[in-house]
Every structure is written in structure tokens, then in C-alpha cells.
Amino acid sequence: MRFVVTAGPTREPIDPVRFLSNRSSGKMGYAIAEAAVAAGHDVNLISGPASIPAPSGVKIISIMTSDELHDAVHRAVRDCDVLVMCAAVSDFKPATVERRKMPKRKTPFALELIPTRDILASLPRENRKFFVVGFAAETHELEASAREKLLAKNCDMIVANDVSRSDSGMESDENEVTIFFREAAPKKISRTSKKIIARELVKIISKMSEKCLTKKS
């Protein structure tokens, strides 16, 4: 199968030397890309600036901003069977990007932020020929928020993780996730390495996407 995996953070520039970003390391997405290659799939990895080397055997497409990620995803899904949207996309960006480095100030000031585009929600909803896996980064009410995102973003399944814990989730080598589906019962993968979680996810995604894509064709 042809996988498109997104990973890592986005960077939203403020001026030539500053940006808004988040703590995502890219580890979960990279582990999924690696596990998908190991399982014999063809993988395009669209990555923000991650702190780790790209796994071998994947085609890497580098992006910086949420707008670049938006365009790269829309191009890549024309030709894929599975999209795994693991990237930690910035939800907002500066309303304007200063062309010159902003000088130091001695008094407080406000930066105007505007929402970025929701990439998953922007994908076609009808007659889609690819299976969509979303991620949900939650600090509270994990199940309710993840289920809401599953529907609002029209995903086929969503992988929820608690990012408020310091021993798993963002930056860590470990994670604990619960997968929510549209029809099947949720499945929890207890705390373990991101590499093991990735292998398990690829197995589940392969099985579910085959079923779903056969039903659609």
C-alpha cells in the first residue's frame, strides 16, 4: 500500500529569526513511517523540522509552515491509499510576518495571531479513495475530545494520546494511546516504546484500510 505519513512540528515565522512552534519531536511519525516500510509499504514522509534522522527507505518531503504542509498533503493524497496525519500542526500563526528582525522592546506588547487552516478538515469527504488516520493530542477529556475530532475531521480512525504526562507523548521515546474507530470498539495500547506502538498501528491500519477501501470500491 502507498502510505503518506506527516510528522514533526510546523514553524510559523514571526520575523526572519523567530517563529512559533511546539514540542513535537517527530518520533511517533518517524516510527510509523519506519514500521510501514518494514511491513513492505511504500512511504512518503512529509516532515516538519524534526530532531531525528529520517528512516531509510522512505521518500522525505520537508516542510516548515502549516501552509506548506497543507499543500504537500493535498498533493500527496492524490496518489495514496493511507494518510497518517501525525504532524503537530500549529493552530495559529502571526497575522503578519515582519520582514526585518523585530527590535527589543521595553514594554509589553501583543502579537496578533490568526488561525491556520485545518488540514484534515480540508480533505475531500465524499468518494475518498484513501484511508485517513488522525491523531489527537489531549490534556483532558481524552475520549470525548478524540471522538469529536474523529467526526469533525472526518477520519476513519483517530489515535489519541495524553500529552500532559511527562513520561509519554511529546518528546518522549514512549507513548500510550487509545485508538477510536467510527464503528468498532476502542483499542488501548498501554505504555510502551513508540517503535512498538508504531508496529501495532501499522498492522491495525493495514487491516482496517483494506476492509474500508474494498467496501468503497
Question: Can you give the binding site for ligand CTP, defined by CB under 6 A?
Answer: 66, 85, 87, 89, 91, 116, 118-120, 134-137, 149, 153
Who's near 30: CB < 8 A, 6+ residues apart?
Answer: 7, 45, 47, 50, 52, 54, 55
Residue 106 CB, nearest distance to ligand CTP (Å)? 33
On the 0-12 / 13-18 / 19+ scale of CB atoms within 10 A, 133 is buried
Contact 119, 89 (CB under 8 A): yes
| Complex with ligand CTP: residue 134 or 169, whichever CB lies closer | 134
Distance CA 57, CA 78 (A): 21
Residue 101 CB, nearest distance to ligand CTP (Å)? 27
Distance CA 60, CA 29 (A): 12
| Complex with ligand CTP: residue 26 or 134, whichever CB lies closer | 134
Element housing 82 (H / E): strand 82-85
22 is catalytic: yes
C-alpha cell of 170? 511529546
Q: Residue 151 phi/psi, 5° resolution? A: -80, -50
Element housing 31 (H / E): helix 27-38
Residue 108 CB, nearest distance to ligand CTP (Å)? 25
Residue 156 CB, nearest distance to ligand CTP (Å)? 12
| Complex with ligand CTP: residue 41 or 70, whichever CB lies closer | 70
Residue 212 CB, nearest distance to ligand CTP (Å)? 18
Ramachandran class of 103: left when φ > 0, alpha when ψ lies in -120 to 50, beta otherwise: beta
C-alpha cell of 81? 491509499
Q: Which of 22, 127, 161, 175 is catalytic?
A: 22
DSSP label at residue 86? -
Residue nearest to ligand CTP (CB): 119
| Complex with ligand CTP: residue 111 or 152, whichever CB lies closer | 152
| Complex with ligand CTP: residue 66 or 206, whichever CB lies closer | 66
Q: Mind telling me the catalytic residues?
A: 22
